[in-house]
Amino acid sequence: MKMLELRDICKTYAQGKLEVPVLRNITLSVEEGEYLAIMGPSGSGKTTLMNIIGCLDSPTSGEYLLAGEDLARQNDKRLSQVRLGSIGFVFQNFYLLPRQSALENVALPLLYAGVRKRQRLEIAHSALERVGLGDRAHFKPTQLSGGQCQRVAIARAIVNDPKVLLADEPTGALDTASGEQIMEIFQRLNDEGVTIVMITHEADIARHAHRTLHLRDGQLVDGPLRPVPAVQEDLEDGSVPGEEAQLP
């Protein structure tokens, strides 16, 4: 069964009178249980593509089906429901709420889903256990390392049992060892049947996926035209490995 299906997706941003095409005729499909990596340099449109897949943005034209449902032109209410129930996000900078404990952060989507408090905390706790942080449930994000923060963020993403896990540079802000840990967790989740779409510009990370697609200037291309050393890409992205980025 096809989990994601994108047909002729175009996205154009208007900058004043100028129309800037960001995505051009993207067509791709992802099977249920697949583990896909999308690679591309900065400005290739990979974040925009992920926003569209994640229902944070709508395409200018084209069709987008998630589990068979056309989501290209849905209202905000329906898209919120899809984000809540079918999609889990993992961001490069974790985006945890700094004043809430790990457990409360993980339980947040359950709050939006209208789960009762007792149950909320139970489910959130088991999600934390799935990423190996059952013993850190009451720590604040400031008391956790970057890798642990990202694992909390993953627990938050899977707490609602989403159909698709979307990860945008999940290891971008982490050192190599923590990054490997994250990849192990992704691998385990995928083995459990979670469909994963991961965006990265590191070939080492993309290697973990079953399939890798390359994005260049808003178009899918067959392979990397010009392999670039990973270290240089890190600097280009402006992020420092191991840096803890949190919400204010």
Partner 1 sequence: MIENIRLSFQGIWSHKLRSVLTMLGIIIGIAAIISIVSTIKGTNEQIKQNLIGAGNNVVQVQLYHTDYDYTYEVGNEGIPAGVPVVSDDVFDAVLALDHVESAALYNRRIDYNNAFYFGNNQLNGCEVYGVDNGYFSTCGFVVRAGRSFVPSDLSAFRPVALVDRDTAKALFEGEDPVGQTIEFNGVALVVVGVVDKDTRFDPVMETVDDYYTYMQQESSGKVFVPKSIWPSLFAYDEPLELAVRADSPEAMSLVGRDAAELMNTGVTNENIVYRAEDTMQTVKDLQDLSNATNQQLIWIASISLLVGGIGVMNIMLVSVTERTREIGLKKALGARKSRILWQFLTEAAVLTSLGGLLGVGAGVGLAELISRITQAPVALSVPFMLLAVVFSMAIGILFGLLPSIQAANLNPIDALRHE
Q: Which stretch binds partner 1 (CB under 8 A): 32-40, 72-80, 122-130, 208-216?
A: 72-80
Closest CB 109 distance from partner 1, rounded Å? 5
Give the residue with the Cβ less far from partner 1, 51 or 187.
51
Which DSSP category does 101 fall into?
Answer: -
Distance CA 6, CA 29 (A): 6
Give min distance, CB of 56 to partner 1, in A: 5
Three-state SS at 162? coil
118 contacts partner 1 (rule: CB under 8 A): no
Kindly determine how many residues on this chain lie close enough to bind partner 1 according to the rule CB under 8 A. 26
Where do we find the tokens 């079953």? 210
Measured from the Cβ of residue 215, the count of other Cβ atoms closer than 10 Å reads: 22
Find the part of the chain contacting partner 1 (CB under 8 A) among 4-12, 61-69, 89-97, 169-177.
Answer: 89-97
Q: Cβ of residue 242: shortest distance to partner 1, in angstroms?
A: 20
Scanning residues 31 to 60, which ones bind partner 1 (CB under 8 A)? Answer: 51, 54, 56-57
Q: Whole-angstrom Cα distance, residue 100 to residue 142?
A: 10
Structure tokens at 234: 């890190």
Q: Which of 84, 121, 203, 230 binds partner 1 (CB under 8 A)?
A: 84
**Within positions 177 to 206, which residues make up the interface with partner 1, using CB under 8 A?**
none
**Given candidates 12, 25, 81, 176, which one binds partner 1 under the rule CB under 8 A?**
81
* 121 lies in the site for partner 1, by CB under 8 A: no
Rounded Cα distance between 162 and 69, Å, is 15
CB 150 within 8 Å of CB 178: yes
Measured distance CA(8)–CA(26) in Å, rounded:
5
Cβ nearer to partner 1, comparing 99 with 138 = 99
47/181 with CB nearer partner 1: 47
| DSSP letters spanning 23-76 | EEEEEEEEETT-EEEEE--TTSSHHHHHHHHTTSS--SEEEEEETTEE-TT--H
Beta strands (DSSP E) in 71-188 are 87-90, 164-168
8 Å CB contact between 130 and 186: no
77 belongs to the binding site for partner 1 (CB under 8 A): yes
Q: Does 112 bind partner 1 (CB under 8 A)?
A: yes
**Using CA atoms, how far apart are residues 95 and 121, in angstroms rounded to an integer?**
20
Q: Write out the residues near partner 1 by the rule CB under 8 A.
A: 51, 54, 56-57, 76-77, 80-81, 83-85, 89, 91, 95, 97, 99, 108-109, 111-113, 117, 156, 160, 247-248
